[in-house]
Structure 1
């Protein structure tokens, strides 16, 4: 065998080894593509299920939203009433502020001695009323004890 024959034999062996290597690689790629094929086959079913669930979710969301809107519609008059009460309270308090300012300005213009006399009468009347209220309350409590003692 001459050198040319040995060279051709070595080239043949190298190509055979390369062919076996490429065959294994291509076999692995074929198995990977088989798995991808199975996954792709299942994909339409999974997408159909997902779209069905999404449709149900949207339907439930719409029902919930319409229910909330209905309940808010029934509460709207209540909010208007509360707003009206707030506006009335604001007007009343502003009126009371105006009255107290005018009273204060009248008191500021008046005689200090006269003011002291009026305040003294007011304090005295308040003290008398409080004293009578407490006495009446004590009398009611004592009458209650007398009934239980008898």
Structure 2
């Protein structure tokens, strides 16, 4: 055989190997496209299921929101009562603060008057006599009961 025949034989063998390789690749591609077609065929059913589930979820969400609205309407008077109680306690504590402040001012004024008139000793003596008188009464009652 001459070189031209050998070259043609090598080219023919290379072409046959290429055709076999391309055949396998195209066969695999055909399988992939077939499976893709099956998947795409199932897609509308899956989308229908997803749409139904989404509708169910939205319906349940709406019912939950309605239930929450009813419960909040039920709780609104309680919140109003808590607010009223807070307002009342604030007013009471405010009046107690005012009363305490006025008593403090009166006590300070009395203390200043006592200091100014040097009556501190006299008031102390009166308090001591009152204390002794109370103790004497307690002692007398205790001795009479026994």
Q: How many residues align?
A: 120
Q: Name the SS of the counterpart of 1:93 in structure 2.
A: helix
Whole-angstrom distance in 2 between the partners of 1:2 and 1:100: 129
Cα distance, 1:59 vs. partner?
0.4
Q: Name the SS of the counterpart of 1:62 in structure 2.
A: helix
Deviations 1:30-68 (A, max 9, x none): 111111111111111111101101110110011001110
Whole-angstrom distance in 2 between the partners of 1:45 and 1:102: 82
1:74 and 2:65 equivalent?
A: no
Instruction: List runs of 5+ in structure 2 lacking aligned partners.
Output: 115-119, 139-146
Whole-angstrom distance in 2 between the partners of 1:91 and 1:77: 21
Q: TM-score, normalization: structure 2? A: 0.75
Query: In the alignment, what sits opposite 1:139?
Result: none
Q: Which has the higher contact order (CA 8 A, sep 6+)?
A: 1
Deviations 1:42-97 (A, max 9, x none): 11111110110111011001100111011101211211111011011101101110
Q: Name the SS of the counterpart of 1:102 in structure 2.
A: helix
1:41-60 aligned at under 5 Å gives the runs: 41-60=41-60
Deviations 1:88-108 (A, max 9, x none): 110110111000110111011
Query: In the alignment, what sits opposite 1:88?
Result: 88
1:1-150 aligned at under 5 Å gives the runs: 1-110=1-110, 111=114, 113=123, 117=127
Instruction: List runs of 5+ in structure 1 lacking aligned partners.
Output: 129-150
Whole-angstrom distance in 1 between the partners of 2:11 and 2:23: 18
**CA RMSD in angstroms, aligned pairs only:** 2.1
In our comparison, the structure showing a higher alpha carbon Rg is 2
